Chain A
Amino acid sequence: MLKILNLEAGYGKLRILKSVSLHVNPGEIVTIIGPNGAGKTTLLNTISGIIKTRSGKIVFNKQNIQQTAAETIVSMGCSLVPEGRQVFNTLTVKENLMLGAYLQFKNGNKKKIKLELKEVLKLFPVLEEREHQLAGTLSGGEQQMLAIGRALMASPRLLMMDEPSMGLAPLIVKEIFETIVRLKDSGMTVLLIEQNARLSLGIADRGYVLETGQIVIEGTVRELLNNHDVQRAYLGKDYKGIDE
């Protein structure tokens, strides 16, 4: 579904991503873990076209998208839930969700939007209660749900999430991660970025470790959980591998 080859990107003279290669197969949850400042957000923003690619290839559904505009990439079925939620504060919850389906609206696909909205509200019932509230007045957890819901309204085939657990209470994080699993069960492909490795490895199929802009370890979740470097750096020193 998504294939990245020797990707390089950065800000101005700053070179952040150094020859990053990875792939995501249909139906998988793939997670990328790594410390603060490793370039995880930069990677997702580059895939979604917010940051320009310097060199390398990004292939989504057999199409090269490394030079494609962000607006077009969404229309191809690749949606990003950005870091820090980024809801439209001054718009209502309903308006936020409807704008998620902006492209479908433009194509006059009203019936599909209604169905999609129903699905999203079923996934996050709290959003229905707050339909007419301004998004900026929601709690952090509700905003995260809204941000995910808005991305889902575009009916993406690949959903990319940038640290959905950031700054949220454990109970709400649990709820959000359960939702991600439900999305996967309904056929969604997910690329999940997290600093909380225990959480994301708990639900993913495969994972990559990104450090200072480079992929340093990759493998199935089982391989990562048994990797001593991963255990030491991301899971805490008291963590015992699942095969030991």
Chain B
Amino acid sequence: MSFELLFQYFLSGITVGSIYAIVAVGFNIIYNTTGIINFAQGEFLILGAMVGITLSPFLPLPLAIILAVILTVIIGALIEIIFIKWLKEPSVLRVIIITIGVSILIREAMLHIWDEKVRALRYFTGTEVSSVTIFGAHISPQVLWVLGISAVIVICLNFFFKFTLIGRAMRACSANKTAARLCGINSKRMVTFSFMLSAGIGALAGCAVSPLTQTQYDMGASLAIKGFTAAILGGLGNSMAAVAAGLIIGLLEAFSISILPLAYKDAVAIALLLIILFFRPSGLFGSREKSALKEY
């Protein structure tokens, strides 16, 4: 195999990997506040992209994306308020099942609004044929956009959770909700806030990847599975590690094509997920010490 070909595989691996990474980060935000996994995370991506696509013919692209993010944030808040907030002391499992129900609901609603057609947002810069050449391999500038946006999101989130009051309060809620309330933290509001935040990040990610992957109403679930695998591989709750894990999964998938038939590509992530859950549930980068302190 030539170096150029290897490098091309590498780049395509990094591209899909960064998409998985950004989905995984969305999972982590809600997990960090509530201890629950929001299985509607993939739908937030698709919803954001769909709204962006619908608005983009009428507005400058950045404005369309911003509006898509805002609208998805509002929907994220509404979902939490309508389906979760009023429950008294719901168990983690119950909320997870609710999010699965919500994901189906959003998917069906999107089918009604946007039908089955495959759409795509236009490229942020250039067109589908423009490419940047790095070490002889060709790469779409959109890939750089996706990587850049992922990086900015992760750095901002890390700062947010470590150094801001609300970020710390959100982590406190996931560590011990009763104790958080005893510190004066309104834990219910923090949950709403985490849904808004991850919906917004999902929508932004959905818009960023839409030119590359295209967008269809039912693509959320498979994105969610890959993102979930990355989140678990990175050790739930750790955003930096989730990004690394997302890239690893993307690379594994890309290189698997050169050994395995294409049809097995999706099986790689699932197999990986099962292996992690069996042998290292604290994740590749999660410390055992830290995960022993968490309640599952």
Contacts and interface: CB of A to CB of B under 8 A. Distances in A.
Contact of A71 (B179, B185, B294): B185
Please indicate which of the listed interface residues B169, B175, B180, B294 has the most CB atoms of chain A within 10 Å of its own CB.
Answer: B175
B181 A102 contact: no
Interface in B132-178: 165, 168-169, 171-172, 174-176, 178
Nearest to A75: B184
B183 interface: yes
Interface residues of B, number: 22
Given A99-B168, A136-B293, A87 B179 contact: yes
Contacts of B293: 89-90, 134, 136-137
Contacts, number: 75
Nearest to A160: B182
Interface in A62-95: 70-71, 74-75, 79-80, 82, 86-91, 95
B169 A99 contact: yes
Given A89-B293, A91-B171, A137-B289, A99 B178 contact: no
A46 B182 CA distance: 12
B183 A99 contact: yes
B186 interface: yes
B184 A82 contact: no
Contacts of B182: 48, 50, 70, 74, 79-80, 82, 86, 151
Contacts of B176: 86-89
A102 B165 contact: yes
Please indicate which of the listed interface residues B174, B180, B182 has the most CB atoms of chain A within 10 Å of its own CB.
Answer: B182
B290 interface: yes
Contacts of A106: 165
Contact of B171 (A48, A80, A90, A154): A90
A105 B176 CA distance: 20
A88 B175 CA distance: 5
B32 to A, nearest CB: 9
Contacts of B178: 50, 82, 86
A136 B290 CA distance: 8
Given A105-B165, A106-B165, A137-B289, A89 B184 contact: no
A88 B185 contact: no
A103 B172 contact: no
B290 A154 contact: no
A100 interface: yes
A91 B176 CA distance: 10
Nearest to B292: A136
Interface of A: 48, 50, 70-71, 74-75, 79-80, 82, 86-91, 95, 98-100, 102-103, 105-106, 134, 136-137, 150-151, 154
